[in-house]
Amino acid sequence: MVDNAVVLQVRDLAFAYPGCQVLDGFGMALPGGLALVQGGESRGKSTLLRLLAGELAAQRGSIVLHGVDQAADPQTYARHVFWADARSNSLDALSARAWWQELPARYPAWDAAALDTHIQGFSLQEHVGKPLYALSTGSKRKVLMAAALASGAALTLIDEPVSGLDKPSAAYLARALSSAAAQPGRVVLVAHYEPLPGALWGTVIDLGD
């Protein structure tokens, strides 16, 4: 099921790294559902997610989520966004269990039953007590995505989801993404170079090759 009301509105977004323009005048209006940002290497997929997460600041433009303007009210906006960068080592000293236990206080729509389902679906049972630095790339990514899917966040951002995943986990992810995105008023936005087979994509944004 897709919510046809606009959940996330982006207008005239511009961002450049020194000597490299990444986005210029970018815009999109996303209803609830599962959305894909696709494109070739260095086309701005990850940068867009980091802008939406508030990790980077746009040089121009606006980002509005459920009527909350990111620039005008960043704290309220941030409470409705889930973002965990798999390339960051900021969580590495924590175990999966310890990190997950912190998240219900931040995300009011946190679904503990969904987390249990994702632990099973991603075969994470033996890893929940390990620090993240001790996990493989794929297992760490699964820990982060299990939390993302269980968060219930109105804007859930997932970058390059299948990197390091085994085939059964990738197949489970496609089903889990579609299920999470069916929650009313929720956008699950994935950045990847192509659609994941089996996922029910409602919107596809192509940044080009």
The CATH number of whichever domain residue 63 belongs to comes to 3.40.50.300
**In-domain check, residue 79:** yes
**In-domain check, residue 140:** yes
Give the residue numbers spanning the domain of 24: 6-206
pLDDT band at 2 (very low <50, low <70, confident <90, very high): very low
pLDDT at 60 over 60: yes
**In-domain check, residue 27:** yes
**In-domain check, residue 137:** yes
Residue 69: burial class (beta carbons within 10 Å; 0-12, 13-18, 19+): middle
Residue 1: what pLDDT?
41
**In-domain check, residue 66:** yes
Residue 42: what pLDDT?
75
Number of domains into which the chain is organized: 1
**Residue 27, CA distances (Å) to 20, 21, 77, 84, 207 in order:** 19, 15, 18, 23, 11
CA atoms of 46 and 44, how far apart (whole Å): 6
**In-domain check, residue 1:** no
Residue 182: what pLDDT?
92
